[in-house]
């Protein structure tokens, strides 16, 4: 929550969680917003209900909350319906290597530094 407030040009240090949630709500209430909760691994019972009070209801606006998690139970606990879940397909070895080469700016046939290609292939295997 402190990170969210900093991004909204506010300082939440020393504030209670409830005060920070109220301030986030005030700052977002007249705005269109996109909130990304990235790589959520766990959530305690009732925690999402408390956190979500910090976000004005997005009905009728272009506002959106995106949650990323590798754990289906987490998003279910947060009340996300099956129709709202996107599960990207895993890349095969060839697709993984092509993506790595694109990002690392190397050619897929390995004409660059052999050591870079060797290390890149180790990374892609993971």
The per-residue pLDDT for range 21-55, each reduced to its tens digit, is 888 888 888 888 888 888 888 888 777 888 888 88
Share of the chain above pLDDT 90, in %: 2
Burial 53-77 (b: 16+ CB within 10 A, else e): ebbbeeeeeebeeebebeeeebbeb
What is the residue whose two structure tokens read 């530094």? Answer: 113
- Please state whether the predicted TM-score (pTM) of the whole model is above 0.85: no
**Helices marked H in the chain:** 2-7, 17-28, 47-52, 72-77, 93-104, 114-125
Helices 93-104 and 114-125, interaxial angle, to 10°?
A: 130
Q: HSE on the CB side for 62, CA within 13 Å?
A: 2
d(CA 122, CA 126): 7
pLDDT above 80 for 108: no
């Amino acid at each position: 929550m402190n990170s969210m407030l900093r991004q909204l040009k506010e300082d939440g240090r020393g504030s209670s969680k409830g005060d920070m949630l109220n301030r986030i709500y005030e700052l977002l209430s007249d705005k269109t917003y996109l909130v990304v909760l990235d790589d959520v691994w766990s959530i305690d019972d009732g925690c999402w209900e408390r956190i979500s009070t910090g976000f004005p209801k997005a009905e009728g606006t272009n506002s959106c909350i995106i949650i990323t998690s590798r754990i289906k139970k987490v998003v279910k606990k947060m009340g996300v319906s099956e129709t709202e879940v996107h599960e990207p397909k895993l890349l095969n070895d060839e697709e993984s290597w092509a993506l790595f080469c694109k990002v690392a700016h190397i050619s897929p046939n390995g004409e660059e530094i052999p050591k870079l290609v060797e290390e890149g292939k180790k990374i892609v295997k993971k």
